[in-house]
Amino acid sequence: AAETEAEARFLLQEARESIEAARSYRRELQQRLRGLHQAREQIKESATLTRDVLEQHFSDLKGTLRKLLDERLMSLLQEVDVIEQESIKPLDECQKLIEHGVSTADDLLREGESAVDGDVGQQNEKLCNFTKKALHIQLDSLPEVPSLVDVPCLSAQLDDCLLTILKNQIFRHGTVASRPPVQLEEFVEKPGGILVRWCKVDDDFTPQDYRLQCRKGTASHFEDVYVGSEPEFMVLHMDPNVDYQFRVCARGDGRQEWSPWSVPQIGRTTLVPHEWTAGLEGYSLSSRRNIALRNDSQACGVLYSKAPTYFCGQTLTFRQVLSRIETVGQPDRRDSLGVCVEQQNGFDSLQRDKAVCISTNGAVFVNGKEMTNQLPAVTSGSTVTFDMEVVQLGPCSNEGGNFKLRVTISSNNREVVFDWVLDQCCGSLYFGCSFAYPGWKVLVF
């Protein structure tokens, strides 16, 4: 009986495992069916859109060609009118001159016949007047009439090679691509933004420029957010927890037209944007409070973030924003860009305890002490990044030293890596900056 019960339990367990495997298998098949459905819908939707684009394009092209042909025809007809009018005008003037001469000759002829046929008493006087009048008219002067070879003979010269050229161009115009040469590859969440990366999927395609577009939610139109040669771009000023749709295309080397768009994909950020604290004398902020400008005020101090929005595992980036004349403020040994555990008023620099920072001359400070390693100086357009990860986490004690962060600071393609030991656990950190002289303008993201 015991063996039978054990065998029943074994069979029951096997049956349950088989049922769970069947459920998992069904889920996988259903997921693949959904994938096939999405693929089929993508093919159908893209084919419909392509048909619409082709029909609209060739309809517009026919309309444009018809308009251009009508304009050319009208230009040629006007040219015919001008030549006709300019050529007939002197002939009309010559005709008027001849007709006037014929009329004068008729009058003279009638007068001469009257003088010859008149009575003898008045004949001599009439003949004398007629002779003088005939001499005055100059009957031997005749107007020049152009020969037919000297006047225009209009004709239209129409070269049939235009049809051959158009035919060759039309048959080569337009292509249908089954796959775009570039596709979106990765979305990396950033505070108030997304780092979008894309890659080339056509080995025969050599890209020269990329074009990234984005639209928010259900907006009807995409808008350009980046055009350039880099295969990634940081899209800023995005609302957290809102879907954005992205697509990218490329322009081949030496070509003017853009490639087909990639398959649109959804990206979103759940991270609130980094903001500087408003109201500190000495600094002016942009409307989104992500850019701080050291103004002409004599007041000095550390400008902190509005909240501790930097978390380990993220990348914090400071970028020196170029001004119109591409200059920055005068450097000072107290200048600093970095992160800290807490806001502490009364300091004019982050070069203090519970903070790590880099000075504008490239010096790195940890808890107020300068490291031997140094980075390049911060200049116009410089970018400084902070990356941190927890490498040791233990229970906090009176002796401290149980919370350790591995910090990587990068600037101008160089970096320093060190461990930052703290006496307290920090889930999030503040960031800050301090500049002694005006002109520094820093973007944080």
**DSSP-assigned letters across all residues of 122-165:** HHHHHHHHHHHHHHHHTTT-------GGGS--------THHHHH
CATH number of 283-444: 2.60.120.920
What is the spatial distance between Cα 12 and Cα 424, in angstroms, rounded to a whole number? 53
Mean pLDDT for all residues in the chain: 87
pTM: 0.58
Does the structural domain 182-269 have CATH classification 2.60.40.10? Answer: yes
Alpha-carbon dihedral sign for residues 131, 137, 141, 145: negative
Q: What confidence score (pLDDT) does residue 324 get?
A: 41
Q: What is the pLDDT of residues 87-114, one digit of tens each?
A: 999 889 888 988 888 888 888 788 777 7
Q: What is the mean pLDDT of residues 217-236?
A: 90
Domain with CATH 2.60.40.10 in the chain: 182-269
Domain with CATH 2.60.120.920 in the chain: 283-444
Rounded mean pLDDT of 24-40? 92
What's the burial of 247, exposed, middle or buried (CB within 10 Å: 0-12/13-18/19+)?
buried
Burial (CB count within 10 angstroms: exposed 0-12, middle 13-18, buried 19+), residue 230: exposed
User: In this predicted model, what pLDDT tens digit does every residue of 255-304 receive, in sequence order?
Assistant: 888 988 999 999 999 988 899 999 898 999 998 899 999 998 888 889 99
Note the pLDDT of residue 79.
93
pLDDT tens per residue across span 139-161: 667 778 888 888 888 898 888 88
Of residues 308 and 218, more confidence is placed in 308
Over pLDDT 90: what percentage of the chain? 45
Mean pLDDT, residues 358-375 taken together: 93
Element (H, E) at 64: helix 2-117
Please enumerate in sequence order all residues whose Cβ is within 8 A of that of 123, keeping only pairs 6 or more positions apart, or say none.
115, 116
Lowest mean pLDDT among 98-112, 252-266, 365-379, 405-419: 98-112
pLDDT at 244: 95
